[in-house]
Amino acid sequence: DAGITQSPRHKVTETGTPVTLRCHQTENHRYMYWYRQDPGHGLRLIHYSYGVKDTDKGEVSDGYSVSRSKTEDFLLTLESATSSQTSVYFCAISGQGREAFFGQGTRLTVV
């Protein structure tokens, strides 16, 4: 398995609270991604990073921000969680921006 650790694995939070999800890799890969997975929608890209402090928006970036201050860590922040952000979040990494390797996911419930 690719060395990817997501934390926490499960979280329940209240509407309006900030939430930060962490992705940590030990592969020294350049590219890191955050996806969300919802029934009927498959995997949708939220944000991605192509280097330290280099990030860009994906398909569903509204309400999310990211930061990458070190190669190994990519943080996803929900500034003010809403029920529509209840989902399973996956981090992925890629060495050359082609094959992506996924973490085990974080199940987030916003109540």
Partner 1 sequence: GQQLNQSPQSMFIQEGEDVSMNCTSSSIFNTWLWYKQDPGEGPVLLIALYKAGELTSNGRLTAQFGITRKDSFLNISASIPSDVGIYFCAGLSGAGSYQLTFGKGTKLSVIP
Q: Which residues bind partner 1 (CB under 8 A)?
A: 31, 33, 40-45, 48, 50, 58-59, 90, 92, 94, 97-105
- DSSP letter for 85, please: G
Nearer to partner 1 (CB atom), residue 53 or residue 98: 98
Nearest approach in angstroms of CB 31 to partner 1 is: 6
Q: What is the largest CA-CA distance in the chain?
A: 38
Nearest approach in angstroms of CB 44 to partner 1 is: 8
Q: Which amino acid is at 1?
A: D
CA angle 54, 71, 104 (to 5 degrees): 105
